Structure 1
Amino acid sequence: MLERHEIETFLTLAEELHFGRTAERLRVTTGRISHVLRKLERRVGAPLFERTSRVVRITPIGARLADDLRPLVQGIEDAVRRAVEAGRGITGELRVAFVGESTAPVLARAVAVFTERHPECVVHVHEAPLATTRSSLRDGSIDVLIASYPFDGMANGPALLHERRVLAVAADHPLAGAESVSLEVLGDHPVVQYPAVTSAAFKRDRTPDRTPSGRPVPKGPTGGTFSELLSLVAMGRGVLPVGELSRRYHPRPDLAYVPIHDAPPILRGPVWREGNDTERVREFVRAAVDANPGTGG
């Protein structure tokens, strides 16, 4: 069995490809690095690195070993971290956010339950702009986001809010007085577009390229925020499928919301970066589920 310091030495050298930098990072001598590597290569029975006086290259066998070891080491570190967190209890700070007014009550209920259960953990609440939701999760400035699905590239779920879809149109639009419409009408009118930073899966869900029958959907202008999207609709620049809670949170005399009778519901819930699955995050998601049973549109 490989010892931890052997694995750490090997993976650090595989990353740095330089004995001096590896020794500096591990706070040992280059001779120690060489000794550990020779011992490891004898055990494997093959060279793991090709080294000359000028360059260090990892061999195919070494590269394969590094690829196999990294997730195992990460798994061990995650397990230890979770055990430490469980032993200490939920403390520290948690940064949570919501996107859009309709998710704010969901988040507020989750924060109330989480804070009651874990009073030693300070929760910071923010509203996340549409354009920075993904980057905020990636850089760690937000730990958990309550947002719309699909949110590809992130861990998410379960859905806490199920909201029927309606079509936002200008108040004087020909469809404004309709009892309901089909998704097929998207092929007859320009559809206002979400900003480019929005994920591809989300855009396909909200503003599809084609109707269910395969007709192309004409693209309207792009808005940077949800209010801008609705303003473009109100000015007659296009239509936009949205959740029916928009009636409550964005009532405007220059807009009408028409039910879409054949569209699936919009789902909203917790989203977080997959590598950020700390005990705090898991406990907050659990609190969010318990605080929002049977939430609907």
Structure 2
Amino acid sequence: MELRDIEIFLTLAEELHFGRTAERLHLSQARVSQSIKQQERRLGGALFDRSTRTVALTLLGQRLRDDLEPGFGLIRAAMDRAAAAARGCCGTVRLGVMGALPSELSWLVQAYVTRYPECGVEFVEFHFSDPFVKLRTGEVDLQLMWLPVPEDRASRGPVVLREGRVLAVAEDSPLAASGFVSMEDLAGQTVLDPGEHVPREWFAAMCPDHTPSGRPIPRGPRARTFHEVLALVAAGRIVCPLNGHVPRYYSYPGVVLLPINDAPLTEWALVLPDSAPAPHVQALLDTARELGPRQIDDHATDFGDPVLTPLD
């Protein structure tokens, strides 16, 4: 059995769908079907039960999957290491992040260093008030940023995280007692002015200028750091949309986080400068693209004490 045929079988055993398997492996559906039929003829038994609606592993298929997976994983890892060595793939990726997001990327970093043992990831914090300066000056190789990013500032790489959103309000705000809010509840509320170094279209994706129905959302005081943002929220001078992961990591009296029940999902992508990435940086991008995005657990409805959060 050729390595490609093993890959086809194991992928179909995971997807249980010929079309998705073909798409994932960049093959035609006929090629996938042909490979499986050849393997079944060689083994003398069916690996999958097929109907017009479902595909399921037979007992023979289950046993073959369980026997093949460990060895195939070792072969793939060895091939990845050899390819990395041939490309001179070694070094540390300097990855710009905000707040506590490094904790949400542990799965990606672990997969990366497993595949490329000579590589590593160093997290470098950046702030929302000047989000592109470290990417522009070369202090970082990549940044994790919410989408969309302006095309003239950075190139978009793969999406790695998705999550919901919450609204930070003062604990004595009339909104605080509601339990949750909608995007329309931002009408008439004053939100943050991020300053002149922040592209408006990028910040508006998190903190919009108007509600979905077109009602204006005024901008008020300016802040440069999350501590300044939190002080403004606690004082009742602004409200601030934030991402849903932050209640897990930060708490402070005076600010309540409310789930925004109709907010669009935040998509976090790896972004990079326009110059060609180094091999070890490209390897991290390739790993992220192959693994696909992860959904951050929704903590927006699991609050204890009032929470004060940084602008992530």
User: Which TM-score applies when normalising by structure 2?
Assistant: 0.61
1:51 match: none
Mapping 1:47-62, distance limit 5 Å: none
1:150 match: 148
Decide whether the 8 Å contact of 2:160 with 2:294 is kept in 1.
yes
Task: Determine helix, strand or coil for the equivalent of 2:159.
Answer: coil
2:27 match: none
Decide whether the 8 Å contact of 2:159 with 2:292 is kept in 1.
no
User: Could you tell me how far apart the structure 1 residues matched to 2:228 and 2:243 are?
Assistant: 16
User: Quick one: which amino acid aligns to residue 249 of structure 1?
Assistant: Y
1:72 match: none
Greater mean alpha carbon deviation, residues 126-135 or residues 174-183: 126-135
Task: Determine helix, strand or coil for the equivalent of 1:220.
Answer: strand
Task: Determine helix, strand or coil for the equivalent of 2:158.
Answer: coil
1:135 maps to which of 118, 133, 136: 133
User: Could you tell me how far apart the structure 2 residues matched to 1:175 and 1:123 are?
Assistant: 41
User: Structure 1: where are the runs of 5+ without partners?
Assistant: 1-83
1:294 match: 294
Tell me which stretches of 4 or more aligned residues in structure 1 moved more than 6 Å.
none
In structure 2, relative to structure 1, the CA distance for the partners of 1:159 and 1:279 (3 Å cut) is same
User: Quick one: which amino acid aligns to residue 166 of structure 1?
Assistant: V
User: Quick one: which amino acid aligns to residue 145 of structure 1?
Assistant: Q
1:90 match: 89
Decide whether the 8 Å contact of 1:169 with 1:240 is kept in 2.
yes
In structure 2, relative to structure 1, the CA distance for the partners of 1:161 and 1:92 (3 Å cut) is closer
User: Could you tell me how far apart the structure 2 residues matched to 1:123 and 1:160 are?
Assistant: 15
1:109 maps to which of 103, 107, 110: 107
User: Structure 2: where are the runs of 5+ without partners?
Assistant: 1-82, 298-312
In structure 2, relative to structure 1, the CA distance for the partners of 1:242 and 1:117 (3 Å cut) is same
Task: Determine helix, strand or coil for the equivalent of 1:276.
Answer: coil
How much has 1:243 moved relative to structure 2? Answer: 1.1
In structure 2, relative to structure 1, the CA distance for the partners of 1:143 and 1:236 (3 Å cut) is same
2:234 match: 234
2:98 match: 99
Deviations 1:45-77 (A, max 9, x none): xxxxxxxxxxxxxxxxxxxxxxxxxxxxxxxxx
Q: CA RMSD in A?
A: 2.4
Decide whether the 8 Å contact of 1:244 with 1:257 is kept in 2.
no
User: Could you tell me how far apart the structure 2 residues matched to 1:114 and 1:229 are?
Assistant: 35
Greater mean alpha carbon deviation, residues 134-143 or residues 87-96: 87-96
Task: Determine helix, strand or coil for the equivalent of 2:228.
Answer: helix
Deviations 1:203-228 (A, max 9, x none): 22122222222222111211111232
How much has 1:295 moved relative to structure 2? Answer: 2.8
How much has 1:268 moved relative to structure 2? Answer: 1.3
Mapping 1:251-262, distance limit 5 Å: 251-262=251-262
In structure 2, relative to structure 1, the CA distance for the partners of 1:88 and 1:285 (3 Å cut) is closer
Give the helix-richer structure, 1 or 2. 1
2:161 match: 161
Decide whether the 8 Å contact of 1:107 with 1:288 is kept in 2.
no
How much has 1:253 moved relative to structure 2? Answer: 2.0
Decide whether the 8 Å contact of 2:193 with 2:221 is kept in 1.
yes
User: Could you tell me how far apart the structure 2 residues matched to 1:116 and 1:192 are?
Assistant: 41
